[in-house]
Structure 1
Amino acid sequence: MLIATAVTVALLQLPAGAFAASADDLGQIREQLQTLMQRVDRLEQENTELKSENQTLKAQDDYLKAETKGLRKDTATLQSDAGKVKGADWAGRISAKGDLRYRYEWIEDPTRKGVVAGLQGFNDEQQTRQRIRARLGFDARVTDSLLVGLQVATGGEDPRSSNQTLGGVNSRKAIGFDLAYFDWKFADWGNLLGGKMKYPFVRPGQSLFYDNDVNPEGLAMQFSRGMFFGSAFGFLIEERNNAARSSSSSSGTPPVTITSLTNCIADAGRTCSKDIYTLGAQFGIRMPVGASTLVAGVGYSDLRNGQGQRPFFNANANGNTLTGPFSGLAHDFNIIEGFAEFNSQIGALPLQVWANYAQNQDPDDLNTAWAAGVLFGKASNYHTWEAGVLYEVLGKDALFAQVVDSDFGDGTTDTQGWVLRAGYAPWKNVSLNATYFLNQRFVDVPVNAVFGTKTDYDRLQIDFNLKF
């Protein structure tokens, strides 16, 4: 079509009588036609190249669309995987643990009968009961150096027992926070703890100076450097405020009222506005003795603002001397404590021998406590066993009785006697344990005129323990 058009245009441009033109004119026409033909060839060639490039671009466009779709899919997959990794990282920072204990307990205590006008009461001196203890805890690692610990347990509010006695017409059993603390490792040699925590200081062997269920509340710092270790702590015993102020007063001066006198005595110049707390520290050493290890340490604790007051759970002094029947503590508690623990092996079985001593610096009498014991074997892994014995003497005012073991001598001071232990693990994390308390209560101060001093107290516990 281009050639025909070119020829037509060329012919139209010819002058009249062109068909009779000379040979030169025909030659010019041929040159013009040849030039036009060359231009047409170039246009066809360019058109072909453009078509090829267009097809290439279309193929690239299709490829890019496919790649974009694939990238979107891969991005969605990566986002999902990232979420899974984040979730796995969160889960990996939390560890759970727990235990369940079923206990049969038998107690014989002559003072349970009571005395009314010199006559025996109605209570039986023997008691049998079945109890459970359940605990579930979580450790969450917030950062590489900061950990948070939480644990709930049966037992309700009792600070020295997480046991619940079965019965009560199938009543529901109380559960409360047993642990709630943070543990910050601020240096390779030290930790700072705060909240409701386990004892931050070392206790030797099976010493009963402190009840295993008591979890103190406050702040503590621990350090360990080579063979040396230690701690410093401040535990809040009771928060005090002698006045409850109401913001509803229109006079601008809130009224002042005494809120509670259960544990608060305002006498001898004392008030109920001072918090009661314990300050203390411990320092010790772990040193090798051949293939064995010797651990020894000393400590000091001071109960502040407690003398003359009643910082008691359930208004029970647990044996400490009072200034009167419904009065406060007769003595302060400035306690020096020392201990030693020797760990070795006889064949494949572990052997532990330990001793513990404490003295309250405030009273002049009935102010010392000591204990010593031995434990052979360890009921922990499959088909392992243990056996142990200890003897303890606990003076009436040697220790602050709110924290002493609640089973030995029924959880009171002015007590002495033996504790026999045995245990067997049929499987890992499962154990059977038996503990027998053969004690004497009211060793130095009689409970009353009828029973006098050194009243027998026996207690048998058979436990089935499960850990997970």
Structure 2
Amino acid sequence: MKNLVLAAALATALSSVSSDVQAADSSSELAQIREQLEALLQRVDRLEKENNELKSQNESLRATDEKLLANDDYLKSEARGLRKETAQQAVEVNKTKGADWASRVAITGDMRYRYEMITDDTLSNGQKTADRYRDRIRARLVATARPTDTLTVGIGMTTAENGDPRSGNQSLTGVFTKKPFDLDLAYFDWRFADWGNLIGGKMKQPFVKPGQSLFFDNDITPEGLAVNVQRGMFFGTVYNYWLLEASGPENTRTADTMLHGVQFGARMPMGSSSLLMLAATYYDLSAAVGRSPFYNGSGNVNNANGNTVINLAQPPAVNAVLVYNYEVVNLSAEFNTLFGAVPFQAWADVAQNQDPSNHNNAWAAGVLFGKATNYRTWELGAGYQKIEKDALFAQLIDSDFAGGFSDNNGWVLRAGYAPVRNWILNATFFLNHRNVDVANSAGQTEVEYHRLQVDFNVKF
């Protein structure tokens, strides 16, 4: 390139020199021409140098552009990979969240179909009560969640007739009417220390009951607050439950009827396969005298379930109200061992109401062989009970024994068999007497009351 430019410059210079020689031939003019030629050559050198620099810059820019293009392709590839990885991680996070939720929530329940036959010799309008036959169902569903490692929340539903606190049974009647499904549990259970829990709401019974004791009906879910403690072999419970909330003007009685209680006990190992449980319980029914803290309201003496009441004339209704406080001391024992591979249990329960001086004692005892739980397991049990008229607050006692009334005694015979896991067949026979110490309104004492129950139970 430089040679071409130089040749052109020389041709131009020679043409100019020839023309200038013909016009003038002095030496000064030749010197001037030489200077012009040198200046032209210097300019050509500068242009050549600048051209080379531009070539170098162009090559550098081209290399940079290629590098940028390569980086762009790499970044695009990395972005695609990151998007895929992020999507996979999101799926895994969702799976983890789902698994975590599933591990913290449990759904349990059971369904029971029962055939029941009742014979009651209590006179009704001067005649013996007719034998009764009925089929009944009970369905329960409970959701238990653990929002944190120390907090459990439970919500449960059950069938029940008119909200009966002592029964989840629903009789098959009413021309196929829909059956109610009521709130049975709604509680929190906060483990505030490794030795204690605070429970609040409508809860499962937090205290310990020995064996098949019927001093407290199994279907009752008390309402209020309770604290459970466990320290080694020792345990205890303190509770405060609401029965009736009252309101009204200042000149009326507005104290709420409540149930306060405390239990302390111990589970003591006795050898390698035996355990003895001993417990002492005290409960006090406060603000109850002169009140009707009974299921199904007041107005009927039978609502007191056998406890002593008086009728207060309060037109237009006559209300049956309690005569005594229920300040009950209860001692319990349960012994568990093995006869070979067969579980054996013996238990006893005694109680006394401190307020009345008569008809204030209760006791029960029984045995149970086997345990119908797993595949092809069985159980056989027998128990005897006597509850005097005012020994216990009868609103709480078992609703099946003697029809749920105090002033009773008699036997309970049990049998159970599990053909498969979570499926149990049970039969229970109550051979009881009602009005053992105090005559009923018809003047009867020692009234026979028999009840047969055959159950088909499925748990899940």
- Give the counterpart of 1:457 among 449, 452, 455: 449
Compute the displacement of 1:17 (Å). 1.4
Compute the displacement of 1:207 (Å). 0.1
Structure 1: gaps spanning 5 or more residues: 244-255, 257-269
Match in the other structure for 1:282: 263
Match in the other structure for 1:223: 229
Give yes or no for the alignment of 1:120 onto 2:127. Answer: yes
Residues 23-56 of structure 1: CA distance to partner in whole angstroms, max 9, x if unpaired? x989998787667555544433432232122111
Report the secondary structure of 1:63's partner residue. helix
Compute the displacement of 1:93 (Å). 1.4
Match in the other structure for 2:26: none
Structural mapping, 1:245-324, within 5 Å: 271-291=252-272, 292-314=274-296, 315=298, 316-324=303-311
Give yes or no for the alignment of 1:64 onto 2:75. Answer: yes
Aligned mates of 2:10, 2:413 — CA distance in 1? 131
- Give the counterpart of 1:183 among 181, 189, 200: 189
Q: Cα distance 1:39–1:415, how it changes in 2: closer, same or farther (>3 A)? A: same
Letter in 1 for 2:343: P
Residues 231-283 of structure 1: CA distance to partner in whole angstroms, max 9, x if unpaired? 1000101111135xxxxxxxxxxxx9xxxxxxxxxxxxx94411000111000
Residues 32-81 of structure 1: CA distance to partner in whole angstroms, max 9, x if unpaired? 76675555444334322321221111121222233224323433443343
Letter in 1 for 2:196: G
Structural mapping, 1:139-150, within 5 Å: 139-150=144-155
Compute the displacement of 1:102 (Å). 0.4
Aligned mates of 1:207, 1:18 — CA distance in 2? 142
Aligned mates of 2:6, 2:88 — CA distance in 1? 63
Letter in 1 for 2:124: G
Aligned mates of 1:148, 1:84 — CA distance in 2? 23
Report the secondary structure of 1:401's partner residue. coil
Give yes or no for the alignment of 1:332 onto 2:313. Answer: no
Match in the other structure for 2:315: none
Residues 352-371 of structure 1: CA distance to partner in whole angstroms, max 9, x if unpaired? 11100110000000001000
Report the secondary structure of 2:198's partner residue. strand
Structural mapping, 1:150-229, within 5 Å: 150-156=155-161, 157-229=163-235
User: Contact 2:394/2:406 (CA < 8 Å) preserved in 1?
Assistant: yes
Compute the displacement of 1:409 (Å). 0.4
Residues 162-193 of structure 1: CA distance to partner in whole angstroms, max 9, x if unpaired? 00001211111111011110000000000000
Give yes or no for the alignment of 1:129 onto 2:139. Answer: no
Report the secondary structure of 2:322's partner residue. coil
Give yes or no for the alignment of 1:398 onto 2:391. Answer: yes
**Between 86-95 and 386-395, the greater mean CA deviation after superposition:** 86-95
**Between 167-176 and 434-443, the greater mean CA deviation after superposition:** 167-176
Match in the other structure for 2:25: none
Aligned mates of 1:453, 1:211 — CA distance in 2? 25
Letter in 1 for 2:74: Y
User: Contact 1:6/1:36 (CA < 8 Å) preserved in 2?
Assistant: no
User: Contact 1:391/1:416 (CA < 8 Å) preserved in 2?
Assistant: yes
Structural mapping, 1:288-437, within 5 Å: 288-291=269-272, 292-314=274-296, 315=298, 316-324=303-311, 326-437=319-430
Residues 119-173 of structure 1: CA distance to partner in whole angstroms, max 9, x if unpaired? 427x52x111000000000101011101101110000410000000012111111
Letter in 1 for 2:432: N
Letter in 1 for 2:143: F
User: Contact 1:277/1:305 (CA < 8 Å) preserved in 2?
Assistant: yes
Match in the other structure for 1:83: 94
Match in the other structure for 2:117: 106
Match in the other structure for 1:240: 246
Aligned mates of 2:96, 2:18 — CA distance in 1? 91
Report the secondary structure of 2:66's partner residue. helix
Q: Cα distance 1:30–1:467, how it changes in 2: closer, same or farther (>3 A)? A: same
Compute the displacement of 1:447 (Å). 1.1
Larger radius of gyration: 2
Match in the other structure for 1:252: none
Report the secondary structure of 1:403's partner residue. coil
User: Contact 1:377/1:387 (CA < 8 Å) preserved in 2?
Assistant: yes
Q: Cα distance 1:419–1:39, how it changes in 2: closer, same or farther (>3 A)? A: same
Report the secondary structure of 2:308's partner residue. coil
RMSD between aligned residues: 2.6
Report the secondary structure of 1:324's partner residue. strand
Residues 330-372 of structure 1: CA distance to partner in whole angstroms, max 9, x if unpaired? 1000000101110100111111111001100000000010000
Aligned mates of 1:151, 1:3 — CA distance in 2? 103
Runs of 4+ in 1 over 4 A off after TM superposition: 1-15, 18-22, 24-39
Aligned mates of 2:437, 2:327 — CA distance in 1? 21
- Give the counterpart of 2:65 among 54, 65, 77: 54
Aligned mates of 2:450, 2:340 — CA distance in 1? 34
User: Contact 2:2/2:44 (CA < 8 Å) preserved in 1?
Assistant: no
Aligned mates of 2:15, 2:328 — CA distance in 1? 137
Percent identity reads: 49
Match in the other structure for 1:265: none
Aligned mates of 2:165, 2:38 — CA distance in 1? 125
Q: Cα distance 1:186–1:15, how it changes in 2: closer, same or farther (>3 A)? A: farther
TM-score w.r.t. length of structure 2: 0.88
Match in the other structure for 1:466: 458
Match in the other structure for 1:441: 434
Letter in 2 for 1:322: V
Residues 178-234 of structure 1: CA distance to partner in whole angstroms, max 9, x if unpaired? 111000000000000000011111000000000000010000000000111001000
Q: Cα distance 1:11–1:229, how it changes in 2: closer, same or farther (>3 A)? A: farther
